[in-house]
């Protein structure tokens, strides 16, 4: 696979960096520290005149995630995030301990293990534990490049659990 040109970003930042806008930024930051071993970039934290966190940044692995409090007149916007972890079982256990619910049980998925959780603020996390085998998304030269296939039980479960989760998203209390 050919990689596209990658725009320059400041050291430590990726081309795309996630932003969580939430009703309870301080506790979301605590959740990220405990579940994903996030480290806060303390100098990035900005508190607005109303006392709400206007901007904060944490490092999870090699990525920056920004977190801010939602203002009273801002709409509810849950984040949908994908994160790779070293230990799926430990991650899910800690997330549940902190009020998240598993919405997709760990399932083999194209050479990885995938699970999804919804945290108590309504954000949905695609949690992956990478397995050693690699699966290529590129069509081989001798294939018909068709995605016309019979889905497996696992793929059907992953699909259906996402549809259910997304239909049931509700604004934060």
Only one residue has tokens 């709409």, namely: 75
pLDDT for residue 135: 61
Kindly state the DSSP code that residue 26 receives in the 8-state scheme.
H
Question: CA dihedral in degrees (8, 11, 64, 47; nearest 10)?
Answer: -110
Residue 142: inside a domain, yes or no? no
Q: Give me the residues paired with residue 161 across strands.
A: none
pLDDT for residue 151: 85
Q: How far is CA 133 from CA 31, 38, 79, 87, in A?
A: 31, 27, 29, 17
Burial 9-29 (b: 16+ CB within 10 A, else e): eeeeeeeeebebbbbbbeebb
Structurally, how many domains does the chain consist of?
1
CATH number, domain containing residue 102: 3.10.180.10
Residue 6: inside a domain, yes or no? no
pLDDT for residue 127: 97
pLDDT for residue 149: 67
Residue 78: inside a domain, yes or no? yes
Can you tell me whether residue 69 is helix, strand or coil? strand
Residue 3: inside a domain, yes or no? no
Residue 84: inside a domain, yes or no? yes
Angle between helices 88-97 and 25-36 (to 10 degrees): 150
pTM, to two decimals: 0.86
Enclosing domain of residue 66: 18-133+150-167
Cα three-residue angle 82-147-141, rounded to 5 degrees: 105
pLDDT for residue 148: 59
Identify the segments of the chain with pLDDT beneath 50: none
Residue 86: inside a domain, yes or no? yes
Residue 59: inside a domain, yes or no? yes
Residue 11: inside a domain, yes or no? no
């Amino acid at each position: 696979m050919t990689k596209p040109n990658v725009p320059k970003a400041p050291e430590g930042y990726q081309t795309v960096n996630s932003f969580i806008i939430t009703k309870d930024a301080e506790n979301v930051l605590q959740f990220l520290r405990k579940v994903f071993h996030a480290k806060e970039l303390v100098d990035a934290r900005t508190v607005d005149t109303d006392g709400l966190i206007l901007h904060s940044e944490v490092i999870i692995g090699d990525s920056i995630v920004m977190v801010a409090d939602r203002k009273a007149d801002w709409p509810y916007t849950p984040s949908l995030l994908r994160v790779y972890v070293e230990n799926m079982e430990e991650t899910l256990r800690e997330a549940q301990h902190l009020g998240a619910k598993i919405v997709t049980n760990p399932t083999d998925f194209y050479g990885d293990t995938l699970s999804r959780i919804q945290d108590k603020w309504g954000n949905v996390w695609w949690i992956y534990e990478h397995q050693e085998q690699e699966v290529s998304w590129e069509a081989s030269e001798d294939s018909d490049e068709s995605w016309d296939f019979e889905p497996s039980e696992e793929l059907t479960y992953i699909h259906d659990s996402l549809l259910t989760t997304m239909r049931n998203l509700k604004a934060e209390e």
